[in-house]
């Protein structure tokens, strides 16, 4: 019989998993992005109120297995998941997607936070930010010699010396080449998500000999079972279901 699963999502892989879960299971989203309405499982939107709240939800709902398929930079919910699993005595399995690796000729530079990023960008004019919403909080701090291009889920009104593009992956190589050329990008900024759906921008930076500034990955907790590939997690899940 299938265990009652609570799947923490918000990623492409998580949505794929959710499509294969039964009606006894729950797909959980923070509520920042699109909420699918065509899933065979239940869908829940919004936070739980920290690790204690998540543990309480697990107990109340009779959850038998917690799956953490959140984004590698969503460190808070992953920490909560690990702690809630301990508190509730339920197993937590996580997909820990490996990061991208620099290839020959790549000029990749790592920074820890926004302050370090600003310093790393000092000598560039046309950065392309693909970090989510964080740059939007700093649009009033754009140095006079820079024009920022910010790509995130939702567009917003133009501000001086910035272009904000609302777009949702996957992004293909052809489109990424066109974007870099059209906007005269001279440096790319990204999280190291390791996702195939956003990888083409790295290929374009490589082709153009442009540096890439990567926000370092956060520490994630150790949980009962960790998988590097979705297929391995799916196989383990099927073995557990038998």
Decide: is 28 part of the binding site for ligand NAP (CB under 6 A).
yes
Nearer to ligand NAP, 127 or 192 (CB): 192
| Angle at CA of residue 149, ends 15 and 78, nearest 5° | 35
CA distance 4 to 90: 11
Q: Tell the smallest beta-carbon distance from residue 78 to ligand NAP (Å).
A: 6
Q: Tell the smallest beta-carbon distance from residue 207 to ligand NAP (Å).
A: 25
Decide: is 30 part of the binding site for ligand NAP (CB under 6 A).
yes
Residue count, binding to ligand NAP (CB under 6 A): 24
Rounded to a whole number of angstroms, the distance between the first and last alpha carbons of the chain is 7
C-alpha distance from residue 188 to each of 94, 169, 212 (Å): 29, 16, 5
The alpha-helical segments, DSSP class H, found in 106-223 are 114-120, 173-183, 200-208
Candidate list 97, 151, 191, 201; residue touching ligand NAP; CB under 6 A: 191
Site for ligand NAP in 90-149 (CB under 6 A): 132
Site for ligand NAP in 33-92 (CB under 6 A): 47-50, 53-54, 70-71, 73-77, 80
Q: Which range, of 6-14, 134-142, 166-174, 181-189, touches ligand NAP by CB under 6 A?
A: 6-14
Contact 193, 95 (CB under 8 A): no
CA distance 88 to 63: 9
Tokens of 72: 């590698």
Nearer to ligand NAP, 76 or 125 (CB): 76
Contact positions vs ligand NAP (CB under 6 A): 8-11, 28-30, 32, 47-50, 53-54, 70-71, 73-77, 80, 132, 191
């Amino acid at each position: 019989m299938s265990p009652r699963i609570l799947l923490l999502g918000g990623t492409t892989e998580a949505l794929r998993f959710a499509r294969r879960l039964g009606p006894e299971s729950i797909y959980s989203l923070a509520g920042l992005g699109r909420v699918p309405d065509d899933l065979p499982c239940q869908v829940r939107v919004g936070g739980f109120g920290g690790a204690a709240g998540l543990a309480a939800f697990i107990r109340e709902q009779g959850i038998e297995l917690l799956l953490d398929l959140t984004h590698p930079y969503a460190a808070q919910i992953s920490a909560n998941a690990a702690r809630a699993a301990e508190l509730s005595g339920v197993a937590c399995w996580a997909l820990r997607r490996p990061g991208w690796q620099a290839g020959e000729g790549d000029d990749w530079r790592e920074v820890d936070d926004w302050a370090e990023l600003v310093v790393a960008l000092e000598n560039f004019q046309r950065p392309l930010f693909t970090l989510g919403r964080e740059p939007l909080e700093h649009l009033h701090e754009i140095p006079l010699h820079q024009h920022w291009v910010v790509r995130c889920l939702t567009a917003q009104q133009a501000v001086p010396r910035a272009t904000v593009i609302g777009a949702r992956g996957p992004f293909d190589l052809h489109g990424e080449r066109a974007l870099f050329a059209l906007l005269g990008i001279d440096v790319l900024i990204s999280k190291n998500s390791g996702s195939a759906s956003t990888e083409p921008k790295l290929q374009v930076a490589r082709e153009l000999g442009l540096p890439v500034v990567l926000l370092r990955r956060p520490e994630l907790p150790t949980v009962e079972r960790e998988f590097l590939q979705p297929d391995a997690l799916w196989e383990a899940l099927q073995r557990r279901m038998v």
